[in-house]
Amino acid sequence: MPDITTDVLIIGTGPAGSATAALLSTYGIENMAVNRYRWLANTPRAHITNQRAMEVLRDLGREVEDEAYMFATHQELMGENIFCESLAGEEIGRMKAWGNHPLSKAEHLMSSPTKMNDLPQTFMEPLLFKTACSRGTQARMSTEYLRHQQDADGVTTTCLDRLTQKEFTIRSKYLIGADGGKSLVAENENLPFEGKMGVGGSMNILFKADLTKYVAHRPSVLYWVMQPGADVGGIGMGLVRMVRPWNEWLIVWGYDINEPEPVVTPEFATGVARQLIGDPELEIELLSANTWTVNNFYATKTSNGRVFCMGDAIHRHPPSNGLGSNTSIQDAFNLAWKLAMVLKGQAGEHLLDSYDTERAPVAKQIVTRANQSIAETGPIFAALGMAEGVNPEQMQKNLEARTNGTPEAEAQREAIRKAIAFKKYEFDAHGVEMNQRYSSDAVVTDGQIEPAFQLDADLHYQPTTWPGARLPHAWLYRHDNGAEVSTLDLCGHGRFTILTGLGGEAWVEATARVGDALGIEIVTHVIGPRREYVDHSGEWARLAEICDSGCLLVRPDHHVCWRVSSPVDDPEAELHRALKRILAR
Ligand code: FDA
């Protein structure tokens, strides 16, 4: 007999595990989350929070979204991505990052009701965890996952209570491995991986120091520093990262992975901080220091039977592009509603297979992107004549050379500008963050062709209602009080939604009957003049890609899963057919 039973057992309370727990509890599913430590992340770690992750928080409730903004450094303070000799030294160049370039800002504003921000993991995790526990998640801290065994009906997991040193078992219908980059769940389940762990060595030095005089006039999250050793290991260059403006910082500094791991003593940490900031007298209050490895490793299969892995457990990559916790939260958003519907008997188990079909390609994409971003720092070094390594004297000579009025110096200046501008693939890659389109049995295209990307798909988000894509955002207005509401706000919250327009009323009747027949709640909205939501600006008409009398079926995770462009003879039969396929009924 197991000691404890629950429907879903979640190993790990990081961004992936806590988001899953919060979503499952919101959907009314019994779940338990365990963490081997007594509390959540104790260092800021992930921080860049993109619009898609914020949409998940918004779906959990406006109070969750608002609390994130309350603790975050706002987008406006994130944007001047600086490359310099040191913070006190000469600036080599900069680029506007994270949606702060005026053109990029417009794309951000048009793409989502949410805003990118900088929310350190020490704030994100407690927010998600609190949301989970207050809505029903049973959390057990100081509880270490050891092993599991799955059978036809469920999973029996053995954990160690680290306070009593006693082992106990938990029986669940499903097990989630959200246990981070050294996932024992993924290892025990023998999930296949591609790539390599430990391709570079890096260290984090977390400290307090007031650096206002070096940064307040060029507010940024990231200050990239070219110093001797900056091209060794690490994430492309020496990094001084803002944690709280402007008095808490995290330095990321590389080391040669083929050499022994350095011991980061307070003296060593202070030395690195003084070197990167360029102030030999600087006093820091050292908070912590640790080493970590740069990984290039992703699961090619993310689940097996009743066991699902997510977050760093299936995608292990450097922090470049800031995709770590964002993707983990989005994994959770993909899986949670599927588990909920299967557990409530509203969907067949085959629906769960779509988690792997949809998220394994994302794991590969982001791991590849983040590692490529490290390599793309090389041209900046090359443009400064330091492809062979940073030598301080040579660097001074090269920096000096670029100030000449000669054609060679002009060519060098041009090369530096181009190399820095190219880093938008790391620091302003809105497409990487927002363009995820799914192709699986949980999406019915009825043969509609996927629209090609008109612009660079890594840099620019392209809205489409093609089944598989995330529902485009447009502001609508409530007929009764004029309040602004996003199309995304009409959907989600664990339910399917039908969006239609004037002339599409037959879809509303059909949806009610299909919902009854399948025993699921489907929300319907007719958008148009004198209806509950009005498209005063015409923005939705521009994006919807259907006639008013057509319809979009939207999944609980905001992805369109079926689209009918114009009226059909038997809407009930058509909707029934599509939903039965999506729900594997
Ligand atoms: P995460 O690692 O956050 O959580 C795993 C959870 O599982 C933890 O609660 C852990 O205690 C628990 N756990 C593990 N094994 C267990 C077991 N056997 N039993 C019970 N519980 C267990 N990203 C970024 O974008 N910018 C950055 O600057 C950094 N910096 C950074 C530094 C360091 C040192 C690390 C380790 C990672 C980063 N990251 C990062 C990556 C980012 O933090 C990461 O992508 C997310 O935390 C992933 O979230 P997960 O929930 O998947 O794993």
Q: Is 328 in the pocket of ligand 1 (CB under 6 A)?
A: yes
- Would residue 201 count as lying in a domain? no
Atom of ligand 1 at shortest range from CA of 184? 18
What is the Cα Rg of the chain in Å? 25
pLDDT score for 360 = 98
**287 belongs to a structural domain:** no
Ligand 1 neighbourhood includes 292 CB (under 6 angstroms) = yes
User: Helix %, strand %, coil % for the chain, to 5?
Assistant: 35, 25, 35
In a domain, 570, yes or no: yes
Whether the Cβ atoms of residue 311 and residue 12 lie closer than 8 Å to each other: yes
Q: What are the tens digits of pLDDT across the range 176-185?
A: 999 999 999 9
Does residue 525 fall inside a structural domain?
yes
Does the pLDDT at position 229 exceed 80? no
Q: Is the pLDDT of residue 433 over 90?
A: yes
The answer to whether position 202 is within a domain reads no
CA gap 83, 80 in Å, rounded: 10
CB 431 near ligand 1, within 6 Å: no
Same domain, 360 and 382: no
Q: Is 120 in the pocket of ligand 1 (CB under 6 A)?
A: no
**59-112 pLDDT, tens digit each:** 999 999 999 999 999 999 999 999 999 999 999 999 999 999 999 999 999 999
The answer on 359 and 394 residing in a single domain is no
**Residue 14 alpha carbon to ligand 1 centre in Å:** 6
283: number of Cβ within 10 Å: 11
User: pLDDT of 354-366, one tens digit each?
Assistant: 999 999 999 999 9
Ligand 1 geometric centre to CA of 576 (Å): 41
Report the sign of the C-alpha dihedral through residues 164, 167, 171, 174, in that order.
positive
Backbone dihedral region for residue 539 (phi beyond 0: left; psi -120 to 50: alpha; all else: beta): alpha
Dihedral sign for Cα atoms in the order 133, 137, 141, 144: negative
Residue 37 Cα to chain centre, angstroms? 24
CA of 312 to the centre of ligand 1 (A): 7
Cis? peptide before 246, omega within 30° of 0: yes
Residue nearest to atom 24 of ligand 1 (CA): 46
Asked if residue 146 and residue 66 are part of one domain, the reply reads yes
**Matching residue, tokens 């188990």:** 349
Structural domain boundaries enclosing 570? 438-582
Query: With bands split at pLDDT 50, 70 and 90, how would you rate the model's confidence at 156?
Result: very high
CA separation for the pair 245, 253 (Å, rounded): 20
User: Which CATH number fits the domain that encloses residue 328?
Assistant: 3.50.50.60
Q: Quick check: 534 and 479 in contact, CB under 8 A?
A: yes
Residue linked to tokens 């502001």? 475
Does the pLDDT value for residue 42 go beyond 80?
Answer: yes
Check pLDDT > 90 for residue 131.
yes
Q: Beta partners for 156? A: 149, 171
What does the alpha-carbon distance between residue 399 and residue 416 come to, in Å, rounded to a whole number? 11
Residues 353 and 471 in one domain: no
* CA-nearest residue, atom 31 of ligand 1: 45
Find out whether the beta carbon of 318 lies less than 6 Å from any atom of ligand 1: no
- State in Å: Cα 45 to ligand 1 middle: 8
CA distance 579 to 496: 10
Angle at 472 between CA 504 and CA 428, to 5 degrees: 175
Answer yes or no: is the C-beta of 312 below 6 A from any ligand 1 atom: yes
Measured over the CA atoms of residue 127, residue 129, residue 130 and residue 131, the dihedral's sign is positive
Query: 486 and 358 share a domain?
Result: no
Cα(362) to ligand 1 centroid in Å equals 18
Atom of ligand 1 nearest to the CA of 290: 34
CA distance 474 to 544: 9
The amino acid at residue 430 is: H
Q: Which residue has the higher pLDDT, 399 or 556?
A: 556
pLDDT recorded at residue 384: 86
179 lines ligand 1 (CB under 6 A): yes
Is 80 exceeded by the pLDDT of residue 205? Answer: yes
**CA separation for the pair 405, 268 (Å, rounded):** 41
Q: Identify the domain boundary among 393, 422, 451.
A: 422
pLDDT of 234 reads 73
Contact 525, 499 (CB under 8 A): yes
- Tell whether 343 and 479 lie within a shared domain: no
CA 441 to each of CA 348, 358, 468: distance values in angstroms, whole numbers, following the listed order: 12, 10, 10
> In 120-173, which residue ranges form alpha helices assigned H by DSSP?
121-134
- The model's pTM is 0.97
Q: What is the mean pLDDT of residues 308-330?
A: 97
CA separation for the pair 39, 181 (Å, rounded): 18
Share of residues in the chain with pLDDT > 70 (%): 100
Beta bridge partners of 485: 476
316 in ligand 1 pocket by Cβ < 6 Å? no
The DSSP element (H or E) to which 394 belongs, if any, is: helix 392-401
Q: So what's the pLDDT on residue 479? A: 96
Give residue 293 CA to ligand 1 midpoint distance, Å.
Answer: 13
Residue spans of alpha helices (H) in 194-265: 212-215
Tell me: pLDDT of 230 over 80. Answer: no
Question: Across the chain, what does the average pLDDT equal?
Answer: 96
Going from the Cα of 220 to the center of ligand 1, the distance in angstroms, rounded, reads 24
Q: List Cα–Cα distances, 566 to 497, 502, 504, 508, 563, in angstroms.
A: 18, 12, 9, 15, 9
Residue nearest ligand 1's atom 26 by CA: 46
Contact in structure between 192 and 224 (CB atoms under 8 Å): no
Rounded Cα–Cα distance for residues 185 and 236 (Å) = 31
393 and 451 share one domain: no
Answer yes or no: is the C-beta of 14 below 6 A from any ligand 1 atom. yes
Q: Distance between CA atoms of 110 and 539, rounded to whole angstroms?
A: 10
> What is the structure's pLDDT at 421?
97
- Judge if ipTM > 0.90: yes
Same domain, 349 and 407: no
Q: Would the CB of 178 count as within 6 Å of ligand 1?
A: yes
Weakest-pLDDT range from 175-189, 245-259, 462-476: 245-259
Task: Look at 128-132, 185-189, 243-247, 383-387 and tell me which has the smallest mean pLDDT.
Answer: 383-387
pLDDT at 269 over 90: yes
Single-letter residue type at 338: K
The answer on 314 and 176 residing in a single domain is yes
Model confidence pLDDT, tens digit, residues 479-496: 999 999 999 999 999 999
Mutation probe of ligand 1 site: the residue of 128, 188, 312, 320 with most atoms within 8 A of C-beta: 312
Mutate to test the pocket of ligand 1, among 78, 121, 204 (most ligand atoms within 8 A of CB): 121
Q: Are residues 577 and 443 in the same domain?
A: yes
Query: Is 171 in contact with 4 (CB distance < 8 Å)?
Result: yes
144 pocket-lining for ligand 1 (C-beta < 6 Å): yes
In a domain, 154, yes or no: yes
How close is the Cα of 186 to the center of ligand 1, in Å?
14
The neighbouring-strand residues paired with 150 are: 155
Could you give the angle at which helices 121-134 and 62-71 cross, rounded to 10 degrees? 160
Q: Are residues 529 and 563 in the same domain?
A: yes
Cis before 475? omega within 30: no
- Examine residue 96 and state whether it is found in any structural domain, yes or no: no
- pLDDT grade for 233, boundaries at 50, 70 and 90: confident
Q: Are residues 168 and 34 in the same domain?
A: yes
Mean pLDDT, rounded, for 332-360: 98
pLDDT of 228 over the 90 cut: no
> Where does the pLDDT of residue 502 fall: very low under 50, low under 70, confident under 90, or very high at 90 and above?
very high
Please state, in angstroms and rounded to a whole number, the distance separating the CA atoms of residues 147 and 114: 39
Q: Name residue 563's amino acid.
A: R
Q: What is the pLDDT of residue 287?
A: 97
Domains contained in the chain, number: 3
* Residue in 490, 459, 448, 458 with CA at minimum distance from that of residue 472: 490
Domain edge (last residue) among 372, 388, 405: 372
Question: Which residues are paired to 155 by β-bridges?
Answer: 150, 172
pLDDT tens-place string over residues 358-387:
999 999 999 999 999 998 998 998 898 887
**Residue 33 falls inside a structural domain:** yes
Atom of ligand 1 nearest to the CA of 13: 9
Strand partners, 308: 176, 303
So what's the pLDDT on residue 227?
Answer: 82
CATH number at residue 564: 3.40.30.120
Q: For residue 174, what are the β-bridge partners? A: 8
Ligand 1, atom 10, residue with closest C-alpha? 12
